[in-house]
Amino acid sequence: MTVGLVLGATGGIGGACVTALAGSVERMILVGRDSGRLQVAATAAGTGAAPVVADVVDPVGRAAIIRAITGANDDLRWVVIASGVPLRGGLAQLDEAAIAETFAANLVGPALLLRALADLRWTARASVVVIGSTSAQRALANRSVYGASKAGLERLAISLGAEWVKRGIRVNVVAPGVIATPFLGDDHARLDAWVAERVPSRRTGTPAEVAEMVRYLVLEAPDYVVGTRISVDGGMEAIA
């Protein structure tokens, strides 16, 4: 039986990835921290979707994810890591706990989960897609810690692309720009003005547009697409 995993399945981008990849495997494991929202997502995804309430930062949570995946005849087909926490503020204004929690949620937890997943059985031509961020490449004020955590995650994934390709597992990164999710906060007027000035497409993107690229990398991309980073950002990274 083929298995897929979406980490962060209740988020805007993670939820869109669940929709985009529904039906591509026989069992889809949906992971998040909110049981009610997970159940809604699993019901919408249809037959074969299984919710797992877990926090990737917690060893107990990671163990629960591994247990949900493994079975007598189960092979992991694809993994999408779309979890993460936002953190805004200048470094001097952030407290130590917030900094540590951001790196734990955005980098350390996913790295440890990938380490555990490495020991499982995978299908031929398996795929991992990690959701990065334009903040990993662009210097943005008040996003230093968040950007650093995402930069670390992106480098981890790209390096894994080189390590795991010999096992038939392709690892790639999708880096969203300004996407219309609750992640953006509530100051819509200021955000709209910033987008109009800094994004060539002059609009925010949608979670479905990011998920469409994820689906392509998982199901359709050539085997030679390995360890790459694809921006879905309306051209934001193309300009200074």
pLDDT at 182: 76
- Domain CATH number, residue 77: 3.40.50.720
Q: What is the pLDDT along the chain (240 residues), one digit of tens a residue?
A: 999 999 999 999 999 999 999 999 999 999 999 999 999 999 999 889 999 999 999 999 999 999 999 976 899 999 999 999 999 889 999 999 999 999 999 999 999 999 999 999 999 999 999 999 999 988 888 889 999 999 999 999 999 999 999 999 999 999 999 888 876 766 667 778 878 888 888 888 999 999 999 999 999 999 999 999 999 999 888 885
Q: How far are the Cα atoms of 21, 66, 173 from residue 170, in angstroms, in the given order?
A: 17, 20, 10
Among the options 78, 103, 122, 146, which is catalytic? 146
Quick one: CA torsion of 32, 36, 42, 46, rounded to 10 degrees?
-170
Strand partners, 27: 3
Is 146 an active-site residue?
A: yes
The residue range of the domain holding 81 is 2-238
CA 25 to chain centre: 18
pLDDT at 12: 94
4: number of Cβ within 10 Å: 26
pLDDT at 197: 82
Look at the chain and report how many structural domains it folds into. 1
pLDDT at 240: 57
